[in-house]
Amino acid sequence: MKIVHRDFVRGGPGKFKMVPLDSDDLWYVFNLIAVGDSVIAVTVRKVLREAASGGRDAERVKLKLEIKVDKVPEYDQEGGVVRVSGKNILENEHVKIGAHHTLELELHRPFALKKDVWDSVALLELNQACDPAASADLAVVIMQEGLAHILLVGRSMTITRSRIETSIPRKHGPSVAGYEKALSKFFENVLQAFLKYVDFSVVRCAVIASPGFTKDQFHRHLLLEAERKQLRSIIENKSRIVLVHTTSGYKHSLREVLDAPNVMNLIKDTKAAQEVRALQDFFSMLSNEPHRACYGPKHVEVAHEQMAVQTLLITDELFRNADVVTRQKYVNLVNSVKDSKGNVHIFSSMHVSGEQLAQITGIAAILRFPLPDLDDIEM
């Protein structure tokens, strides 16, 4: 994210003008904009003008609008756009004040965001969006015979770039020749997708993951073809290609990839890796010392009232609540945990770790000391 202009009071009103540069930035924009905020952007509207013949001509006109957001924005991952709806509050010859309008915020198009209160969570989101060091940027090929997924793991989201599926005959009996031919064709299709979507100037490393020996066979095919066709991007970066064992070639196996020590070492300083580690620590504590881990808003709240929260895990989804009071409750909890020298991890709901956390209410905590009485409180 590029910040063009800033004029704000921490914990008070202000305005930021910004330009989203990649899909991760659009996700941050989606999380930043809340009901009650104002968004200023240039848009195009069809306007009817009187023609010399007496009729009316339609003309597309560029307009600058400021809308007061009246519902939670929509994020369109496929289209690469965030849609923000509300009433126009800026005087304009073509759009009346109070008229309802939807703005589409896209990559490389500047817009300004005004808030009555720039709270700590909103400012943290903005800082993370502007921090290039926070990027995970990991390319992952998860595969098994006949099926492969190419995923890009960014700062705040995991994107499926390609799914390759090929019918592979059985390895034994008379169809063995057909098996070899089909497998070679499958590997070639995966290689073409790999070349198209994996950019080593952006990603830290590329992971090839599978059950059995499929990953090793594809890795061998990749390197042989790179030498034969002189594919410089692969030849010069082969040391950044990592092999990992998974139980399947389906996307849910990304969890196993991010848990792998050789991958974790390469991305250990990124937000995505910190989230994975924090979630591992939570489930480990829940399993080994259950009274030192809790989840659910009520249990976490009670634990914090007793100054017991060492690490707070919370998904960004909870801050997108249309109810300002509910959002503020979670913002206050985050600030209070930090003030009491606790750690806070805000998980992206577009990452596999955020999805896991969402399955257990979206909020959890590792405690400084056991609280067995929590079991008596209804969640």
Determine the Cα–Cα distance for residues 87 and 47; give it in Å rounded to an integer. 18
Average pLDDT over residues 63-86: 93
- Tokens standing for residue 373: 């009485």
The torsion angles phi and psi of 39, rounded to 5 degrees, stand at: -120, 130
| Cα of 298 vs its chain's centroid, Å | 27
What confidence tens digit (pLDDT) does each residue in 24-50 have? 899 999 999 999 999 999 998 877 777
Q: Which amino acid is at 123?
A: L
Model confidence at 334: pLDDT above 90:
yes
**Residue-averaged pLDDT of the chain:** 91
Say how many CA atoms lie within 13 Å of 231 toward its Cβ: 21
Chain position carrying tokens 């007793």: 306
Reported confidence tier of residue 133, pLDDT bands at 50, 70, 90: low
Average pLDDT over residues 209-226: 97
Which of 68-77, 124-133, 366-375 has the least mean pLDDT? 124-133
Model confidence at 135: pLDDT above 70:
no
More confident residue, 271 or 369: 369
pLDDT at position 134, please? 60
Reported confidence tier of residue 338, pLDDT bands at 50, 70, 90: very high
132, burial (CB in 10 Å: exposed 0-12, middle 13-18, buried 19+): exposed
Determine the Cα–Cα distance for residues 130 and 298; give it in Å rounded to an integer. 34
Find out whether 204 and 266 touch, Cβ atoms under 8 Å: yes
Average pLDDT over residues 318-344: 92
Determine the Cα–Cα distance for residues 298 and 283; give it in Å rounded to an integer. 19
Average pLDDT over residues 293-319: 96
pLDDT at position 165, please? 95
Which strand ranges, in their side-by-side order, compose the sheet holding 205-210?
158-165, 147-153, 138-144, 205-210, 241-245
Determine the Cα–Cα distance for residues 252 and 239; give it in Å rounded to an integer. 26
More confident residue, 180 or 210: 210
Average pLDDT over residues 241-257: 94
- Beta bridge partners, 111, equal 18
Secondary structure, 3-state, 135-193: CCCEEEEEEECCEEEEEEECCCEEEEEEEEECCCCCCCHHHHHHHHHHHHHHHHHHHHH
